[in-house]
Structure 1
Amino acid sequence: MCGGGAVTDSRAGETEAREALRPHAEDAFADELRALAAADDRPRPERWRLSPWAVSLYLLGGELPDGTVITPKYVGPRRLVEVAVSTLATDRALLLLGVPGTAKTWVSEHLAAAVSGDSTLLVQGTAGTAEEAVRYGWNYAQLLAHGPSRDALVASPVMRAMAEGRTARVEELTRIPADVQDSLITVLSEKTLPVPELGEEIQAVRGFNLIATANDRDRGVNELSSALRRRFNTVVLPLPETAEAEVDIVARRVDQIGRSLDLPAASDGAAEIRRVVTVFRELRDGVTADGRTKIKSPSGTLSTAEAISVVTGGAALAAHFGDGVLRAGDVAAGVLGAVVRDPSSDTVVWQEYLESVVRERDGWKDFYRACREVSA
């Protein structure tokens, strides 16, 4: 009976993962992780599910000897991924730094999934993140009834990761108040978390490490102290170097998101994806792709993540309210919404770009008309 119950619970868990709107990385790519684990004969750090080599392969993609295809989770410099993975195999924590939309959270989640098999030990940084979210809290009913005790202690994701030898994640570290940030110093330097109310401490076991992400544009919001920054090895994730790489990233993610949401597939979308990426890159760089015309940049970041959102929204429009073919009219409103964040300044930038660049570009008349319609 016990064995049957275990099978039933496992199947129920798999069904729940399939039905989740956004499955965790370890659930969405469970087959790939299992195949990698079976083929991985390289040394693994203690409590790691995969070797550092296999973790890198999981992120960058490739093919196993048995023909299993591992899809790339990150398209970018291989060396950056190798540095990030090797950092987690040491006693230094990892800080992923970059402008919005450079896949910091995505990489963080997949690293934790591949290393620990669990990406859910997460602290989401905001201006309201309290120290309890990083260290520990209390069950106040238990605390009032029986006083401080292990039963009354509510472990944070970081404390759980320390005790279980797993990877903890802290998102948007620079949005967390400075005094809360600094509660990580003892954790990262001494690998202990004191609990003075109990006269105890939680010591990290082998396998524990921490991945934090921070936004380049948040510098000065809650700047990391030099003492905390020294505890991290920083890896800067860049924007895609070429238009071709960015088009590839957008196409892959739109396809993945569409399948997870059961969106009807919008056909012939390659041209519009390339067009959205071109617009974003030119406005982001302040110059046209051929380098001949300088243009003003808007206040927003126009990241790859925003391009993915624009194309996904356009694919939904084309599938549900069009003929299934992704066209300029399906992405125009999304592009406008991404570019014009500050109506007082960005509207002028957008109108100048439309008239001086888009209007004159061969083969872009349909996109120009669609953008003019939604901008009116």
Structure 2
Amino acid sequence: MNEPVLRQHAEEQYAEELALLTAGDERVRPPGWRMSPQAVVTYLLGDGDKITPKYVGPRRLIEVAVATLATDRALLLLGVPGTAKTWVSEHLTAAISGDSTLLVQGTAGTAEEAIRYGWNYARLLADGPSDAALVPSPVLRAMRGGAIVRVEELTRVPSDVQDALITVLSEKTLPVPELNTEVRARRGFNLIATANDRDRGVNELSSALRRRFNTVVLPVTRTAEDEVAIVVRRVAQLGRALELPEVPAAMEEIRRVVTVFRELRSGMTEDGRTRVKSPTGSLSTAEAISVITNGMALAAHFGDGILRPGDVAAGILGAVVKDPVSDAVVWREYLETVVRDRPGWLGFYRAARDV
């Protein structure tokens, strides 16, 4: 019997949708792909019926991303935090390769072995360099299997480690000089990297590496209604996954959180009449989802089962005030100049002041 997991991979969670699309897909599929590019786009954006949308945004961006992966160019998803870069990359690999687990997590400590290969040192010492002693990286496994590999937060990876990708992306080979051989990528291999454009200057991509990518910039959700729809859908999914007690969907509080985040992000109230200061944090859609999910847990376990302003006020404060000095000033000014006199927001104002 399988042990329950907190979060399933995309290809597991949406296995029925993927099977449905694959079964009815009669269009041309690129080598190594499980479905056609058109079906991949439908999987990401939904069909209004049996296929749920995984991403809400411009269709053309997803079409460009999918078309890139059908060529010999790698794909770089760029955007501010919370624009669904990781989410999109996972679902793209699930739809194209059926396996989203080939992943390199970029950090300041990512070593070249994570991009190329490592060694089983016990076998290396006993028998010397051999195929049995070689430990393949996710990139090498993707090359051998003709699959898509993901590299998260590429600009967090040290520059010299980043450059280990240049030969892989240009020549589609990975030299293994210790064995006097090389690994050639099978058809279907490609790479999706994500990068946070707030990390510019951390470890900029070299011009040689950047030329190997087509870049797609994922924007912040354009309209409040789209953002509300994303929050509602993801909160419902998380509630089921976490087996939270049922809490009636409180659209009023969801809209309130989305409104606060959008106004503070843009520096302007939704009616365009009042300028407000923006905090240092990103206030992404992902953080709005977290605030609502936490509020539902509070309402279920410590409240009356109804999501109220007091259940979300503390979560909003934690999301907004990252710098205890400057952000606290921004938040107090926003409360006093915008929230206090807004019709229907008195309960939230009091809850936020109490926090």
**Structure 2 counterpart of 1:213:** 194
Q: Establish whether residue 248 from structure 1 lines up as the match of residue 248 from structure 2.
A: no
**Structure 2 counterpart of 1:51:** 36
- Aligned residue type for 2:39: A
**Structure 1 counterpart of 2:9:** 24
Structure 1: which 4+ aligned runs deviate by more than 3 Å? none
2:305 and 2:87 map into 1 onto residues whose CA distance is 29
**Structure 1 counterpart of 2:67:** 86
Q: Establish whether residue 286 from structure 1 lines up as the match of residue 280 from structure 2.
A: no
1:69 and 1:326 map into 2 onto residues whose CA distance is 30
Q: Establish whether residue 200 from structure 1 lines up as the match of residue 181 from structure 2.
A: yes
Name the TM-score, length of structure 1 as normaliser: 0.93
**Structure 2 counterpart of 1:35:** 20
1:27 and 1:353 map into 2 onto residues whose CA distance is 43
Q: Establish whether residue 326 from structure 1 lines up as the match of residue 307 from structure 2.
A: yes
**Structure 1 counterpart of 2:92:** 111
**Structure 1 counterpart of 2:110:** 129
Equivalent pairs counted in the alignment come to: 355
Q: Establish whether residue 359 from structure 1 lines up as the match of residue 340 from structure 2.
A: yes
For 1:96, what is the secondary structure of its paired residue? Answer: strand
The alpha carbon displacement at 1:325 in A equals: 1.1
The alpha carbon displacement at 1:313 in A equals: 0.5
1:265 and 1:285 map into 2 onto residues whose CA distance is 33
CA RMSD of aligned residues (A): 0.8
2:58 and 2:249 map into 1 onto residues whose CA distance is 29
Q: Establish whether residue 350 from structure 1 lines up as the match of residue 331 from structure 2.
A: yes
The alpha carbon displacement at 1:344 in A equals: 1.1
Say which is worse superposed, 319-328 or 272-281, in terms of deviation. Answer: 319-328
Name the TM-score, length of structure 2 as normaliser: 0.99
Q: Establish whether residue 269 from structure 1 lines up as the match of residue 254 from structure 2.
A: no
For 2:20, what is the secondary structure of its paired residue? Answer: helix
- Aligned residue type for 1:34: A
Q: 1:142 aligns with which of 106, 118, 123?
A: 123
**Structure 1 counterpart of 2:288:** 307
Q: 1:229 aligns with which of 195, 200, 210?
A: 210
The alpha carbon displacement at 1:47 in A equals: 1.5
2:24 and 2:313 map into 1 onto residues whose CA distance is 46
**Structure 1 counterpart of 2:47:** 62
**Structure 2 counterpart of 1:370:** 351
Q: Deviations for 1:293-339, whole angstroms, at most 9, x for unmatched residues? A: 00100010001111111011011111111122111111000000000
Unaligned runs of 5+ in 1: 1-11
2:205 and 2:231 map into 1 onto residues whose CA distance is 32
Say which is worse superposed, 281-290 or 264-273, in terms of deviation. Answer: 264-273
- Aligned residue type for 1:58: Y
2:129 and 2:249 map into 1 onto residues whose CA distance is 62
- Aligned residue type for 2:95: A
